[in-house]
């Protein structure tokens, strides 16, 4: 089990270091650390990389370490463009640092955002770093009970794994500068059409071309699909534009969406579509719910837990077209209310409380895991 974590000599508050720093574009870490601060937990200055030298003396600097995205421990936006060999060596350094943390007196918490990296070109490095991270972590946090169960099975983990919800994004982004009708007019969307939204970076695991094809199989003239986000590369753009073809009902808004447009685009839509093959955890899901959008998503325990009832329309493989029809046929006002209620239930303070228990070496009561005599 996690070890009791006495404060550093002379310290009066719990101090935590987080790795890696925010990879950019997602306010997750900022909001999470604000929730920790409300609990009186001090955040150590962010370091660009987790190194063996830092890990060796971590107990002098902090009382606990919190680790997040595996791949960003060795592949960071800050070092984008470096050759693959540099990332391999960064992985070796990260693995060594994690092994040192496993033997240190500080408690280690790991938030498992994804079971596997979506498009990692270094699967061997990913696996080695993930294995070392799993060995170092006293507590693993997942963003649903279903995800926690899957993590236990995937990792073969006997030490604690708990589910704590991903926090919401209510009030995080700037208020819209334009009305719903004005945003729609600017995008060429009819004021009275039902608009499905696909939001965020267009990456292969999101299966956006398949989503477009499923949408196009329904000939309803009064429905639109808005695809908003940065296209990963030229091949992704080719696939997306090929899937759109000559269907004017699909509107592509390419490019990084600035914070000032996030609320506008969501409030111009009527539903959010997530065509992920595996919905383990998703910021886009919480973002959509936070703007009152019912979510059409591949059926998963995480979706049903996070967006219960009218807040979501789950679908099985091959069932996306029908799900898009079903969300339009439902009670729109009731679905929006359910989505907002689901978002409000996902409070950052619940997540911070689970993390603090790990930092202090006291398991959350929902852990339900056997003690590990070796820790």
For the cut 90, the answer to whether the pLDDT of residue 171 exceeds it is yes
Residue with tokens 């899901």: 285
- The CATH code that applies to domain 180-345 is 3.40.50.2000
Confirm whether pTM is higher than 0.85. Answer: yes
pLDDT of residue 1: 43
For the cut 90, the answer to whether the pLDDT of residue 286 exceeds it is yes
* 341-353 mean pLDDT: 96
DSSP 8-state symbol, 328? H
Q: Check if 15-167+347-360 and 180-345 are the same fold.
A: yes
Residues 221-257: tens digit of each pLDDT: 999 999 999 998 899 999 999 999 999 999 999 999 9
Per-domain boundaries in the chain: 15-167+347-360, 180-345
Rg (CA), the chain: 22
* 372: preceding bond cis by omega (within 30 degrees): no
Comparing CA positions, the residue from 215, 266, 265, 269 lying closest to residue 240 is 215
Residue with tokens 């603090």: 356
* Distance between CA atoms of residues 101 and 354, nearest Å: 20
CATH class of segment(s) 15-167+347-360? alpha beta
pLDDT of residue 374: 36
DSSP 8-state symbol, 231? B
| Composition of the chain by helix, strand, coil, percent to 5 | 45, 15, 40
* Distance between CA atoms of residues 281 and 104, nearest Å: 30
* Distance between CA atoms of residues 168 and 208, nearest Å: 24
Comparing CA positions, the residue from 137, 107, 138 lying closest to residue 7 is 107
């Amino acid at each position: 089990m996690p070890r009791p974590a006495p404060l550093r000599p002379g310290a009066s508050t719990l101090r935590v270091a987080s790795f890696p720093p925010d990879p950019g574009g997602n306010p997750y870490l900022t909001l999470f650390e604000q929730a920790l601060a409300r609990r009186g937990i001090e955040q150590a200055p962010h370091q660009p990389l987790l190194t063996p030298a830092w890990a060796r003396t971590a107990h002098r600097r902090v009382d606990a370490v919190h680790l997040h995205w595996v791949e960003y421990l060795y592949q960071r936006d800050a070092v984008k463009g470096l050759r693959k060999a540099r990332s391999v060596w960064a992985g070796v350094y990260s693995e060594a640092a994690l092994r040192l943390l496993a033997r240190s007196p500080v408690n280690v918490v790991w938030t498992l955002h994804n079971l596997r990296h979506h498009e990692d070109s270094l699967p061997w490095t990913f696996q080695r770093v993930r294995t070392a991270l799993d060995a170092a972590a006293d507590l693993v946090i997942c963003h649903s009970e279903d995800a926690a169960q899957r993590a236990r099975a995937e990792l073969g983990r006997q030490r604690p794994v708990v589910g704590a919800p991903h926090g919401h994004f209510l009030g995080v982004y700037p208020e819209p500068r334009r009305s719903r009708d004005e945003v729609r007019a600017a995008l060429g969307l009819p004021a009275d059409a039902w608009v499905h939204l696909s939001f965020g970076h267009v990456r292969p695991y999101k299966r956006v071309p398949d989503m477009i094809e499923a949408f196009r199989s329904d000939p309803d003239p009064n429905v639109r699909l808005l695809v908003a986000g940065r296209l990963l590369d030229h091949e992704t753009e080719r696939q997306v534009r090929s899937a759109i073809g000559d269907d004017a009902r699909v509107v592509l808004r390419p490019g990084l969406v600035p914070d000032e447009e996030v609320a506008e685009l969501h409030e111009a839509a009527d539903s959010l579509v997530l065509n992920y093959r595996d919905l383990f955890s998703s910021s886009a899901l919480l973002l959509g719910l936070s703007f009152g959008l019912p979510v059409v998503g591949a059926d998963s325990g995480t979706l049903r837990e996070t967006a219960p009832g009218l807040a979501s329309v789950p679908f099985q493989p091959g069932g996306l077209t029908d799900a898009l029809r079903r969300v339009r046929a439902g009670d729109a006002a009731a679905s929006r209310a359910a989505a907002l209620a689901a978002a409000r239930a996902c409070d950052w303070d619940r997540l911070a409380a689970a993390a603090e228990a790990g930092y202090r070496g006291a398991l959350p009561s929902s852990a339900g895991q056997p003690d590990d005599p070796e820790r």
